[in-house]
Amino acid sequence: MAANRQTARAADLLSELVSIDSVNPDMPGGERGEREYGDFLAAYGRRLGLEVSQYEVLPGRFNTVLEMPASRAARRLVFDVHLDTVPFDGPVSTNKPVQRDGRLYGRGACDTKGAMAAMLLALERLIERPPDPGCQVVLLATVDEEYLKRGVDAAVERGLRADGAIVGEPTGLVPVIAHKGVARWEVVTRGRAAHTSKPENGVNAIYQMAAVIDRLVARHAVTPPELRHALCGDGTLTVSTIAGGVQVNVVPDECRVQIDRRVLPSEQAQTTWQAVTDDLDRLQAETPGMQLESLVPFLLEEGLDTDPTAAIVSAASAAGRGLGLADKPAGVPYGTDGSSLALGGIPAVVLGPGDIDQAHSPDEYVELDQVANCAALYEAIVREFAATGAAS
């Protein structure tokens, strides 16, 4: 019965969160942005008696911080979770939550409002029964994770400090200590326009790009086996978009592709981009008449590779074990705020309810029992983290 009550409470809170439109304003349909969601959290935190602050990261876009201070606190722990979602897509991925068969459907339910609900519920319980010894707990709700992660970067630049962080993302309640980074950039080929009745008078930029794509697939689609990461596997490269030509009867004088290179924790994003760019320069030198340019990346993000002996990892594993949940650290292929936190000197574990395969999908959902179990897990991690901090 207690478990049913906790699940019902999680469902009610998550429904409120999903009902708030928080599509990233750099994406279609994001006119309202994250502000309403951040204000909801600020009001929620004040009702709980937490210290609340908000600061502007981008015009009209604010990170929201809820802090549960503690006397005699040996450690400081950050709950990091992002406010923005991707655009609505499909009959149930809207801001109208639907409960069915133990699941809650709606945009953001999995990525990552399920984690946010669990964090808020954990904070409620920690306020009712504070950890002894104490632990400072900070909930950092960031903007822009789904685009350029400027929210978490701003927090780190402002001097965010903690002994460990839990990043709320859909991991099926498995503690994740390693994930890939990413380099994203554009490659342009340039030719010469002509009438298609006499294509020999032009230079077809799309044909040139075909050679570029062949080179990328042949040499860079997957990293060599010797670079494989124990938890994250191989680095990968995907040509994600292509655009070229202006009219069916005109030889195209320009073609553009965008590239997504998933970078292993053992690689560096800038170095990886440079290696691919250098190889494309060689292709250009080898190909008479080819004109190509590999543009400066619009996103360079390092991977995450948290020391498995870090205190936050030990606390997450011990808490999971104590609740009969997963306790063995894992790796994932996607990126999170965790890499920025780690670069800021904060060891991070990525952990939350839901399956990444549901994130961004037209039928996005999260299992409500997982949200309830995650709240208990987050609470247990704080208590474990506080106890080991006092003992060390």
CATH number of the structural domain spanning residue 187 = 3.30.70.360
Q: Same domain, yes or no, for 343 and 367?
A: yes
207 and 315 fall within a common domain: no
Predicted TM-score (pTM) of the model is 0.94
Catalytic residue among 34, 67, 80, 145: 145
Q: Identify the CATH number of the domain in which residue 85 sits.
A: 3.40.630.10
Find the catalytic residue in 21, 67, 84, 384. 84
pLDDT digits (tens, 9 = 90+) for 266-318: 999 999 999 999 999 999 999 999 999 999 999 999 999 999 999 999 999 99
* Amino acid (one-letter) located at 138: V
pLDDT number for residue 346:
98
Q: Per-residue pLDDT for 166 more than 50?
A: yes
Structural domain range at position 195: 181-301
Nearest C-alpha neighbor of 180 from the set 104, 308, 108, 269: 269
As a whole number of angstroms, the distance between CA 353 and CA 148 comes to: 23
Q: Mean of the pLDDT values across residues 105-124?
A: 98
Q: Is 186 a catalytic residue?
A: no
Average pLDDT, the chain: 96
Q: What is the pLDDT of residues 228-279, one digit of tens each?
A: 999 999 999 999 999 999 999 999 999 999 999 999 999 999 999 999 999 9
Q: What is the tally of structural domains in the chain?
A: 2
302 is catalytic: no
Residues with Cβ within 8 Å of 214's Cβ and at least 6 positions away in sequence, in order, are none
Determine the pLDDT at residue 4.
Answer: 87
pLDDT band at 203, cuts 50/70/90?
A: very high
State mean pLDDT over 94-110. Answer: 97
Among 301, 323, 353, where does a domain finish?
301
Give the H or E element holding residue 102.
none
The Cα–Cα gap between 76 and 181 comes to 26
Beta strands in 93-244 (DSSP E): 98-100, 103-105, 135-142, 164-167, 176-179, 181-190, 236-244
For residue 1, pLDDT beyond 60: no
**Facing residues of 299 across strands?**
184
- Are residues 46 and 165 both part of a single domain? yes
Same domain, 33 and 142: yes
333-348 confidence digits (pLDDT tens): 999 999 999 999 999 9
Whole-number percent of the chain with pLDDT over 70: 99
- What is Dmax (Cα atoms) for the chain? 81
Mean pLDDT of 8-19: 98
Measuring CA to CA, which residue among 160, 122, 111 is closest to residue 140? 160
Enter the tokens of residue 61. 């876009």
In tens, the pLDDT along 135-150 reads 999 999 999 999 999 9
Q: What is the pLDDT of residue 73?
A: 80
Q: Spell out the SS3 assignment of 304-333.
A: EECCCCCHHHHHHHHHHHHCCCCCCCEEEC
**Same-domain check for residues 172 and 187:** no
Domain boundary residue, one of 264, 280, 301 = 301
